[in-house]
Amino acid sequence: MEDALTLSVHVHDAVHGGLIAGIPVHLEHQNGQRWHTLLSGITNERGSCAHTTATGPETGTYRWVLATGDYYRTLGIRALHPEISIAFTVAEAVPRFLTSLVISPHSYTTYRGF
């Protein structure tokens, strides 16, 4: 898809190191006051999950919602954030938009990757 937009998220574990597989992920697009789900998936062995639009680059507001609580529960750790929501704006037509998320049991940070 030559004119498509690929949105992806990569999840990193700041405490144990490495990328995290198995995190449930939803990608949503905002239309007015409503959010519409574009993707429901799970991070792969590279800690990523991606969605490619069928209609080409689309600017607007998107949101990744990641259910991180079960990951820490399986490690026997009580985490502060059972779910992390990252809203972001795609302001111009680009072929790829990567969001990186670095998590620990009591904090997280996010940045736009390239």
Give how far the C-alpha of residue 14 lies from the chain's centroid of Cα atoms, to the nearest Å.
16
Domain housing 70? 6-113
Q: For 71, phi and psi rounded to 5 degrees?
A: -60, -50
Q: How many domains does the chain have?
A: 1
How many residues in total does the chain contain? Answer: 114
- Using one digit for the tens of pLDDT, what is the confidence trace for 17-72? 999 999 999 999 999 999 999 999 999 999 999 999 877 668 899 999 999 999 99
**What CATH number should be reported for the domain holding residue 46?**
2.60.40.180
Whether residue 99 lies inside any domain: the answer is: yes
Q: How much is the pLDDT for 57?
A: 62
Residue of 43, 38, 37, 8 lying closest to 25 (CA atoms): 43
- Whole-prediction pTM: 0.90
Whether residue 1 lies inside any domain: the answer is: no
